[in-house]
Structure 1
Amino acid sequence: MRAVQGEGPSAGQRCAFVRLGGCNLSCRWCDTPYTWDWTGVGDSGVAYDPKRELRPMPWTDVLRALLGFEVPLIVVSGGEPLSQQRRLLPLLRALTDAGHKVEIETNGTVVPQDDLVALGVRFNVSPKLSHSGDPQARRIVPDALRAFAAVPGTAFKFVCRTTNDLDEVALLVDRYGTRPVWIMPEGQVPAEVGQHLSALGDEVVARGWNLTTRLHVAVWGDRRGV
């Protein structure tokens, strides 16, 4: 789908999204539960049907569709894309060969393969904090975080609600070198995003970190397909 990147260092840029299904985490506030929540464990309590939500496609068909959008940036999201990174390689190689910039949104729990890193894609890594509802052993994988921290151009994006969450971010930064830091307010409708953004802004600036809103929520709310 064609839209704009709503978060992080490329916010506002025209792009096309590739959204994959399946995730190894179960964040209660996830804004794309239809990509993985088949049992209704999320805040909405809705159990989605993978037969309705997911559609297998040859990577060559995906490539043809993406090239047809004529945008400079391709964002691969999920779910958790790196659970399928080997399958992604031919598509991403073709996109970079065609001159596209590629960003991968990942939760930072899967070590990226060397072949993927060599393509020069940007990893937007979003390690999950305790308010996600997942146990720390599932959501924080030290080897993966250190691997991402060693890749040039990686951005680390943390979803936060209150300034107390920033202390948790600081521990991860100190322990695993997850820099540069982007703090993003949690929220699926503009009012929630605005409330958390206001609560976080001063402290984020004081810590010397970057602040990002959720542009797509400000424009389209919680509508799917954007």
Structure 2
Amino acid sequence: MTGDYFATRTALVTGGARGIGRAIVRRLLAEGARVATCDVRERDLELLQAAAGDTPGRLACFTADVRDTEQVVAALDRIGWPVDILVNNAALAPRIPSLELSPAQFDLVLDVNVASAFRLARAMVERARGAELSIVNVASVNALTGQPEMAHYNASKAALLSLTRTLAVEWACLGVRVNAVCPGSTWTDAWEEGGWDAETKERLAAKNPLRRFARPEEIAGPVVFLAGPDATFVTGHGLVVDGGLTLAV
């Protein structure tokens, strides 16, 4: 049943070139959906497209900055696919102590992580014209905690979670479901490129009751669940996927 459901759906995934976004794109493709994805990393999009050779005509990658909603919508119009599922995944997460955080840096993270998600969600609702639409926002357990040196990021994800709940109530009458996934520590390209050594990785993982980081695929599954047929009566929910981390702090 799930495969039949997604075979008639098209998803837009922002920030789909790497990490959790890439895992979401691959999982949706595996479920049979058509997927359009945008990112600012053109080379990574090319690699994603090349790796999806067994999904002809079902993956469209385009370079776009999510802060420019008109640019994203124009690209979708060129592709010509109606969007049934929107996954707001694109985000910035620079680690900066609060006393060193400039207003411009704070505003940029809020713009990318929450304001852009709102603008794109509204554009997709207007574009859907009454058709069923499922929106899944990728928030974070940081929306529920106070991780130091991440004031801008934490605030943006808390706002995204609140936005999710508000839009779920307001847009329910339009047949639109809005949910969020709140991942815990997930091992992605960004961690690897940050030069984290094995000892540091083990120390951080030990804080989690499951004693490890999540894999991107373990976040993609819950996202696809919320977008799919088994969650058609679920809206306004923030699904915590953190290996028990928030229970242990």
TM-score in terms of structure 2 length: 0.34
Q: Larger helix proportion, structure 1 or 2?
A: 2
TM-score in terms of structure 1 length: 0.37
